[in-house]
């Protein structure tokens, strides 16, 4: 049985724990001083160990995978607590800390050999996420398979070539659900402004967005081609799309991604 330690169990850490906790070939331990009491109560019927402070050397040496699921603002303080530990041979140090590079973990955990950065996103909460990965050169094929098997439980998996790409993925897939929810909010508010109730707006907007995404996935057509097939000359869709293009929707999205990417890059330097 492989042993997994999750350091930090907020939204994403708990999403992973929920997806994995019934896997018979794994056991789970969680360190989280902030959510300790709440987590113990929530998972009281599960065979999961919880601690409100860091573990000691005798405990650490048994883990096959150690996952840091913490905020970048506290990463230096938390990760440094593991600086001098000896780890199990082939132990994986996995990070879902936005912006923090592999070199950060090598610097702050001297015995970290096999390191992987993971960027899952919020739909992992319902096993519909996308997780992007990049590892150091020492990462074994066997550990890659183990990580694949775990994260496929929460959605799609995509391995990237380098850390620049994972910072970009952070800006797109990691932050992307936030942009989508903001867009949905704008859809709903606009539909209410033209006279629909909040409940009707929610039903219309959510069904429209979900249906459109599924149509694109099923047909495998380009989004621009699908848009053009609806935008009949002189029709309602064409009129609406003209407004989006006039306000430079493509540039708005580029600026959005670029701003988030720059922030991820900046967090990595701290």
CA angle 99, 103, 105 (to 5 degrees): 80
Tell me if 6 sits within 8 A of 49, measured CB to CB. Answer: no
Whole-number pLDDT of residue 7? 97
Distance from C-alpha of 84 to C-alpha of 11, rounded to nearest angstrom: 28
Q: Does the CA dihedral 215-219-225-228 come out positive or negative?
A: negative
Q: Could you count the other beta carbons within 10 Å of the beta carbon of residue 140?
A: 13
Taking alpha carbons only, the member of 67, 39, 73, 268 closest to residue 171 is: 268
What per-residue string of b and e applies to 70-104 under the rule 16 or more CB within 10 Å gives b? bebeebeebbeebeebebeeebbbbbbbbbbbbeb
Distance from C-alpha of 234 to C-alpha of 106, rounded to nearest angstrom: 60
Tens of pLDDT along the chain (270 residues) come to 999 999 999 999 999 999 999 999 999 999 999 999 999 999 998 999 999 998 999 999 999 999 999 999 999 999 999 999 999 999 999 999 988 999 999 999 999 999 999 999 999 999 999 999 999 999 999 999 999 999 999 999 999 999 999 989 999 999 999 999 999 999 999 999 999 999 999 999 999 999 999 999 999 999 999 999 999 999 999 999 999 999 999 999 999 999 999 998 887 776
């Amino acid at each position: 049985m492989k042993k997994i330690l999750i350091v930090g169990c907020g939204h994403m850490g708990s999403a992973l724990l929920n997806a994995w906790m019934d896997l018979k070939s794994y056991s789970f331990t969680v360190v989280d001083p902030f959510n300790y009491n709440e987590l113990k109560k929530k998972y009281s019927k599960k065979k999961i160990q919880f601690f409100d402070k860091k573990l000691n050397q005798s405990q650490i040496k048994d883990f096959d995978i150690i996952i840091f699921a913490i905020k970048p603002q506290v990463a230096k303080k938390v990760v440094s607590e593991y600086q001098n530990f000896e780890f199990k041979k082939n132990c994986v140090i996995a990070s879902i800390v936005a912006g923090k590079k592999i070199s950060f973990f090598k610097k702050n955990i001297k015995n970290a050999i096999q390191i992987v950065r993971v960027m899952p996103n919020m739909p992992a909460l319902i096993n519909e996420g996308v997780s992007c990965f990049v590892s150091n050169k020492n990462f074994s094929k066997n550990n890659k398979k183990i990580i694949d098997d775990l994260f496929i439980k929460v959605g799609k998996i995509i391995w990237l070539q380098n850390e620049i790409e994972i910072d970009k993925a952070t800006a797109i897939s990691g932050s992307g659900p936030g942009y989508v929810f903001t867009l949905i909010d704008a859809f709903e508010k606009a539909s209410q402004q033209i006279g629909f109730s909040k409940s009707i707006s929610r039903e219309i907007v959510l069904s429209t967005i979900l249906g459109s995404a599924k149509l694109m996935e099923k047909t495998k057509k380009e989004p621009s081609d699908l848009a053009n097939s609806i935008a009949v000359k002189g029709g309602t869709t064409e009129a609406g799309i003209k407004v989006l293009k006039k306000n430079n929707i493509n540039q708005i999205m580029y600026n959005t991604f670029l701003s988030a990417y720059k922030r991820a890059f900046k967090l990595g330097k701290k």
